[in-house]
């Protein structure tokens, strides 16, 4: 029997994710959205492309959660993107309600699924999903680090005039403005980038990576980034579905790792068929450790805001 992957939210990120997963052809894809017709329209469009691209036309679009039963993996993109003029707190409350509702449906209808949370603000939404599903930490994972790291690597590659494939650059901590670029271990073909790019220019590059989501949003005026986020989700799903044991930066619940207790934070994690199989602790220099501590404080404040009535 084919695997089943559900993508909740058929907006920019959800639709792009469904496309990437359908094209991999290793699972049936179920797309869910509360907006009438939206998921069905996207799914129909994706099925029509199947004979041309070369995958099975087995994408379904639904408005009802009954259809997600039996999913092996659920990607949660439902919620609102940051609209111009919307405060962070407003978005936090709106998206927490959505993720809570989705998570309850997931825990009832596919109690063995692995959940990949995409809805912002990450990693706070991971806390919501963990609590509302009641799943173990191995099965509730957030996507942000691969995306932030890819943005950093792209900018470093442009600066150095080399292929992005030859640039490494890990990002830990929070997402976007709260991300921590681990420049102490960033390399180009094995050589430290700090030996090739001056400190001031590196600061500018990290700042641009940090603001990359807003830069895209400003250019588009409506909508938000979707190609890079969906590519990052697909890399996580590949690692889980194909049991690849990739070590990828994800939002994971630390229970002692990096000195944090019961806190979701971005860190490299080994992903395989069981979800998070290990949280890998990498060496950080003193300023990176301090940045990570500050990033974790910001997550704690948001989690506390969520818990207060
Ligand atoms: P979007 O507005 O295009 O799509 C969101 C969709 O969710 C809409 O179609 C809406 O109808 C649907 N929805 C709302 N409530 C729902 C519910 N209860 N059940 C099912 N569907 C529901 O937004 P987008 O650009 O696709 O972004 C989605 C989320 O992903 C946002 O929170 C955004 O900030 C976040 N995001 C995260 C990252 C990351 O790195 N983690 C990257 C990009 C976007």
Distance 4 CA to ligand 1 centre (A): 21
- Checking if the pLDDT of 83 tops 70, the result is no
Q: Chain centroid to CA 299: how far?
A: 16
Task: Kindly report the pTM of this predicted structure.
Answer: 0.97
| Structure-block tokens of residue 96 | 């927490």
- Checking if the pLDDT of 85 tops 70, the result is no
Question: Which of 296, 302, 286 is CA-nearest to residue 261?
Answer: 296
Distance 299 CA to ligand 1 centre (A): 20
What per-residue confidence (pLDDT) applies to 117? 98
Query: How crowded is residue 234: how many other Cβ atoms within 10 Å of its Cβ?
Result: 21
18 lines ligand 1 (CB under 6 A): no
Per-residue pLDDT tens digits for 35-67: 999 999 999 999 999 999 999 999 999 999 999
Q: Chain centroid to CA 43: how far?
A: 22
What per-residue confidence (pLDDT) applies to 286? 97
Most distant CA atoms of the chain, gap in Å: 55
11 lines ligand 1 (CB under 6 A): yes
What per-residue confidence (pLDDT) applies to 176? 86
Handedness of CA 115, 116, 121, 123 (dihedral sign): positive
- The DSSP bridge pattern shows strands 261-272 and 246-255 to be antiparallel
User: In which band, very low, low, confident or very high, does the pLDDT at 309 lie, cut at 50, 70 and 90?
Assistant: low
Mean pLDDT, rounded, of the chain: 95
175 lines ligand 1 (CB under 6 A): yes
175 catalytic per annotation: yes
Per-residue pLDDT tens digits for 59-79: 999 999 999 999 999 999 999
| Under 8 Å between Cβ of 93 and 120 | no
With b meaning 16 or more CB within 10 Å and e meaning fewer, what string describes 96-120? bebbbebbebbbebbeebbbbbbbb
- Checking if the pLDDT of 12 tops 70, the result is yes
């Amino acid at each position: 029997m084919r695997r089943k992957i559900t993508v909740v939210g058929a907006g920019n990120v959800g639709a792009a994710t469904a496309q990437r997963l359908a094209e991999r052809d290793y699972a049936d894809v179920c797309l869910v959205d509360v907006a009438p017709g939206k998921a069905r329209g996207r799914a129909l469009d994706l099925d029509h492309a199947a004979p041309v691209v070369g995958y099975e036309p087995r994408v379904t679009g639904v408005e009802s959660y009954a259809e997600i039963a039996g999913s092996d993996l659920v990607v949660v993109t439902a919620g609102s993107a940051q609209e111009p003029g919307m405060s962070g707190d407003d978005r936090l409350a709106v998206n927490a309600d959505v993720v809570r509702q989705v998570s309850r449906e997931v825990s009832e209808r596919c109690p063995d699924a692995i959940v990949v949370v995409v809805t912002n603000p990450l990693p706070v939404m991971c806390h919501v999903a963990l609590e509302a599903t009641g799943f173990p930490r191995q099965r509730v994972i957030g996507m942000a680090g691969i995306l932030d790291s890819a943005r950093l690597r792209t900018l470093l590659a442009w600066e150095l005039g080399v292929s992005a494939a030859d640039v490494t650059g890990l990002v830990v901590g929070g997402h976007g403005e709260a991300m921590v670029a681990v420049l102490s271990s960033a390399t180009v073909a094995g050589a430290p980038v700090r030996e090739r790019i001056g400190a001031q220019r590196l600061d500018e590059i990290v700042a641009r990576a940090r603001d990359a989501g807003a830069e895209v949003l400003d250019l588009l005026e409506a909508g938000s980034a979707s190609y890079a986020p969906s590519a990052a989700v697909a890399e996580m799903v590949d690692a889980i579905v194909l049991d690849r044991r990739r070590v990828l930066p994800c939002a994971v619940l630390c229970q002692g790792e990096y000195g944090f207790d019961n806190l979701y934070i971005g860190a490299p994690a080994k992903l395989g068929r069981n979800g998070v199989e290990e949280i890998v602790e990498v060496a950080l220099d003193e300023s990176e450790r301090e940045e990570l501590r500050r990033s974790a404080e910001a997550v704690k404040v948001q989690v506390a805001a969520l818990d207060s009535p």
